[in-house]
Amino acid sequence: MATPMFKIVQKQYFSLILAVFIIFFSTRSAWSSFTIADEKKLGKEIYDKLEKNNFLLHDKKLDAYITNIGNRILQRSDKAPFDFTFSIFNSSAINAFATPGGYVYINKGLISVVENEAQLAGVIAHEIAHANARHVASIIDKSKKLNLAMMAAVIAAALLGGGGEATAAIATFSIAGAASISLKYQREHEEEADRLGIGYLVDAGYYPAAMIEFLRIMKQYEFISKSIPSYLFTHPGTDDRIFYLDSLLHTHYRGGGARDIVGNFVRMQSLIVLDANGLINRSNMLTQSLQKNPRSVDLLYALAMTEEQLGHTRTAVEYLNKALTIAPRDGDVLRSIGMISLKTGNVSLARIHLLEASRVNPDDDQITLALGKAYYATGDFQNALNCFLKLRDKTPDDVDIDYQLAMSYGRLNQQGDSHYYFGLYFKKKQRKDSALFHLQKALEYFSKESPRAVSINEAMTELRTGKPVKPDKKTDVKPKTSK
């Protein structure tokens, strides 16, 4: 029997998928050829629904990493006529999928089990090949007799007929193919995607056997999908695919290639948060690898991050200190040891490491925020303010930054600005009375014609009317930065 939480997840997935297709199909008065414009529209609608319902995992480093790999492969492929978007899907299932319009999704579970960058690149290359060959568009285009009720029945059967996270996840993986009775790719689709994908992979500089290695890893996890109806498998026939790719390997792709090109794979993998058992397994694997290569900064860093996620802070710091002796200018190591020191109350040490990290990576927002907090905790309110103002310019909608600015201005006895940012903070928190109180107080410190007073009045008008006020370019100013 499904747990109450799983029932909630089922309803969320069903509502998500159904809403997407209601929107899309209601705009088409009659079936015609599924065009590039249709692909772009449907792909964007699916992406927006996934985003709105928090199905995507957002991490700047991970997002940049998979996008860099994807773009490298695209440069070596016959790119379809649309822009590609690479995202991380927040599911522990071992899978990846492409929806119409060049949207490629890689599960966090897949990232956590691949053994090197080339294997991950092989998965991305395969999905790019599906998109370039417009396989999903072909499936949809051939399903002109499907009506919404039939489609809803297929999705409902998928969600209610199985159990566990994999059922809901795989159903969502089939979101683009849900416009057909048979949701799976045809054999020729898979073969073409593998044939094109391995070519893309090799042209991008990776070793070709990485694709077969990943399929063998995936095969180990196939038991996860045993309760899923066969028509929901997005990538069926693993044995056939291994055999086909192996034949290509022996006849066309005998050369070598790189395991890592973009780099920092182990570090990127350590950013994926796992459950306790997964973290323990990862720690054991990293420890074994470290025994073979004890001076690997990447392994030391990844092991430190894993130990921190397990709550073993002291052990994490020990690994980071070892990494620091080998690579004293490593920005990731400096940032992490600084942030752990800040979290554990050693603010003086945190400031030292974070300041050095900011010199190595001056545009890292995490470092800037942590350094600002370290400055504040040590009583250096002016430098704290400078850090928070830098972030305010880059992330004006960040509620935490408004709070930090309000506190810093208050400590510097700049009460008008302190009240102003407290007002913005409470406004974004939807605490109307508190926001109006601070904004009204802020007005007492600025002349009526000043740009700050204009901004305050606009914010108060929005609070009272519930309607946004379009800022006047002449009066819309950035806060000044003290030096």
Domain of 463, in residue numbers? 386-483
DSSP 275-327: -HHHHHHHHHHHHHHHHH-TT-HHHHHHHHHHHHHTT-HHHHHHHHHHHHHH-
Mean pLDDT, residues 282-286 taken together: 93
Q: Is residue 271 part of a domain?
A: no
Q: Is residue 299 part of a domain?
A: no
* Domain C-terminal end among 236, 251, 266: 251
Q: What is the pTM of this model?
A: 0.77
Q: Is residue 313 part of a domain?
A: no
Q: What is the per-residue pLDDT across 431-462, written as a single tens digit (0 to 9) for each?
A: 999 999 999 999 999 998 899 999 999 999 99
Which of the four pLDDT bands, split at 50, 70 and 90, describes residue 82? confident
d(CA 128, CA 409): 50
Which of the four pLDDT bands, split at 50, 70 and 90, describes residue 26? very low
Q: At what angle do helices 432-443 and 415-428 cross, to 10 degrees?
A: 160
Least confident of 27-41, 95-109, 308-322: 27-41
Q: Is residue 307 part of a domain?
A: no
| pLDDT value of position 337 | 96
Strands in 85-89's sheet, in edge-to-edge order, are: 56-57, 85-89, 103-107, 96-99
Q: Is the pLDDT of residue 39 over 50?
A: yes
* Domain C-terminal end among 216, 251, 286: 251
| pLDDT value of position 398 | 80
Mean pLDDT, residues 315-336 taken together: 96
Q: Is the pLDDT of residue 61 over 50?
A: yes
Which of the four pLDDT bands, split at 50, 70 and 90, describes residue 397? confident
d(CA 71, CA 262): 11
| pLDDT value of position 472 | 54
Place of tokens 């026939």: 237
Q: Is residue 42 part of a domain?
A: yes
Least confident of 27-41, 346-360, 420-434, 446-460: 27-41
Instruction: Report the domain count for the chain.
Output: 2
Q: What is the per-residue pLDDT across 88-123, written as a single tens digit (0 to 9) for each?
A: 998 888 888 888 889 999 999 899 999 999 999 999
Q: Is residue 391 part of a domain?
A: yes
* Domain C-terminal end among 251, 284, 303: 251
Higher pLDDT, 201 or 39: 201
Q: Are 152 and 181 in contact (CB under 8 A)?
A: no
Least confident of 90-99, 163-172, 329-338: 163-172
Q: Is residue 292 part of a domain?
A: no
Higher pLDDT, 267 or 179: 267
Q: Is residue 297 part of a domain?
A: no
